[in-house]
Chains A and B, each alone.
Chain A
Amino acid sequence: MEHGSVADSTASSFSIMEEDHTLANSVRFVLNQDPRVAFCGYSIPHPADNKVNIRVQTTGDPAKDVMVDALQDLMVMCQHARGTFDTAVADFRANKPMERMDIDLNKS
């Protein structure tokens, strides 16, 4: 849910349910790295509530667009991380074949 004013779209608070530091801190990092962002931060209003508030203030662009861009960037970063990881695992296996699990005593 977005809370902003009609007159000024450059500053908004986003209230996201069912999320915690995992997403909020990552998004805050990505937002901070965006030159269009003047300020951003997040808070969890109460530890018993399952929600976070993310505040975004921009230098002119609509806060919502910047937020969506940040989430998309984070997604692309994740996809890249996953691809890199899979390649690294494949390389590792190719160079050093996994020691077979004959040692596992449970599987007799």
Chain B
Amino acid sequence: MDMDDVPTQQRNKLPDHLERQRTRVTCKADAPTHTQGFQYSGAFAAMGVDNSVSVEKFCNSFKIKINRLTEDDMEFDMIGVDASIANAFRRILIAEVPTMAIEKVFMVDNTSVIADEVLSHRLGLIPLDADPRLFDHISDDVPNERNTIVYKLHVSCEKGSQRLTVKSGQLEWLPEGSQLLMASAAQGEKQKTYTSFGQSQKNISGRSIGVKYKDITIARLGPGQAIELEAHAVKGVGKVHAKWSPVATAWYRMLPEVVLLKEIKDGEAEELVKKCPVNVFDIEDLGNGAKRAVVARPRACTLCRECVMGPTGEQVELRRVRDHFIFTIESTGALPPEVLFTEAVKILEEKCERVISELS
């Protein structure tokens, strides 16, 4: 095709329909279209449009806006980033940001109805209020004050008394390390415990390392039953076991964009407002009893596609902005959500660094 055939084509600018395919995912009634996007830098080279993203371009367009930030959950908008990067952050948050969790349980006595292994598993899942950055990964299985946190649980239910519920708050932190003695060594030698702490953990943490939530039920004891155990928590990552995942969940969704392709009036407008289960649309009064539908809350859109189905569906178009992510992080409590995100980004940097050093 001769370039003269396209006189409307402006230099260095994509025609509207291509620009929309590049920056939006359109959700039709049956399926979304243009989900892939254009990855290749030279995709529009023939049209004189550069599709490459240099670091400078990225830095100029990248934006973050915090919508909500509490002690253990946050939501923010991440704008100007590709899904692959946003997804890397999400994956790292779930599987690769380390936390502390109970890994070994030394069962001294368990006469409760809950089996040892089930009890241990329950203990493992209890979120600990320990900053993992203060600790090391346990390497050659030598537990010391830098890689292990020790908890003790010693509860019993007296005969003749009511049933007893054991809560996570009853786990007692042992800053001096294990109190369980190993099978005695040679005579005269000091008896060893299951940890070798060089100093009190109080010196490392500065505050007591308890559990995050004190009201988690661990077990219920009947009269005459007892549990005595010691639990050792170590540092780990979520890909080994979900108990080390620092987030309840971390997810993102693309920003919804709802467009009315033509003016929707009166009865049709009311029908459209009624159709939407999350109230995306509002009615605007034009005076003289005339009404018009407007898109008031596009962010609420869950993409149920109710509005694009049926005979009037052609009037509305649902889109998602490809490079705008609404990112939510729900922390389990070890670290606040904003710290988790920075830690996740740091981990991706470390990954790059590792490969660079291996290549050079």
Contact = CB atoms under 8 A, between A and B. Distances in A.
Contacts of A67: 359
Contacts of B212: 106
A27 B351 CA distance: 11
A26 B65 contact: no
Given A75-B353, A82-B342, A101-B71, A23 B88 contact: yes
Nearest to A29: B84
Contacts, number: 129
A72 interface: yes
Interface in B98-148: none
Contacts of A89: 66, 69, 338
A25 interface: yes
B291 interface: no
B355 interface: yes
B84 A26 contact: yes
A91 B352 CA distance: 29
A68 B359 contact: yes
A88 to B, nearest CB: 4
B16 to A, nearest CB: 23
A32 interface: yes
A26 B359 contact: no
A44 interface: no
A49 interface: no
B58 A72 contact: no
B91 to A, nearest CB: 5
A28 interface: yes
B64 A85 contact: yes
A10 to B, nearest CB: 16
Interface stretch (B39-47, B183-191, B221-229, B275-283): B39-47
Contacts of B346: 78, 82
B196 to A, nearest CB: 30
Given A25-B88, A37-B41, A88 B66 contact: yes
A14 to B, nearest CB: 7
Contact of B341 (A20, A85, A98): A85
Contacts of B62: 77, 80-81, 84
B88 A22 contact: yes
A78 B349 contact: yes
Interface string B60-77: 001111100111000010
Contact of B360 (A68, A84, A91): A68
B71 A75 contact: no
Contacts of B96: 22
Interface string A51-92: 000000000000010011001111111111110111011011
B85 A26 contact: yes
A5 interface: no
Given A74-B352, A85-B345, A88-B64, A35 B52 contact: yes
Contacts of B351: 19, 22-23
Interface in B210-243: 212-215
22 contacts: A1-B358, A22-B87, A26-B88, A28-B84, A67-B359, A71-B352, A71-B355, A72-B356, A74-B348, A75-B353, A76-B55, A77-B62, A77-B85, A80-B58, A84-B62, A84-B63, A85-B345, A88-B76, A91-B66, A92-B66, A104-B71, A106-B215
Interface of B: 39-42, 50-55, 58-59, 62-66, 69-71, 76, 81-82, 84-85, 87-88, 91-92, 95-96, 212-215, 338, 341-342, 345-346, 348-349, 351-353, 355-356, 358-360
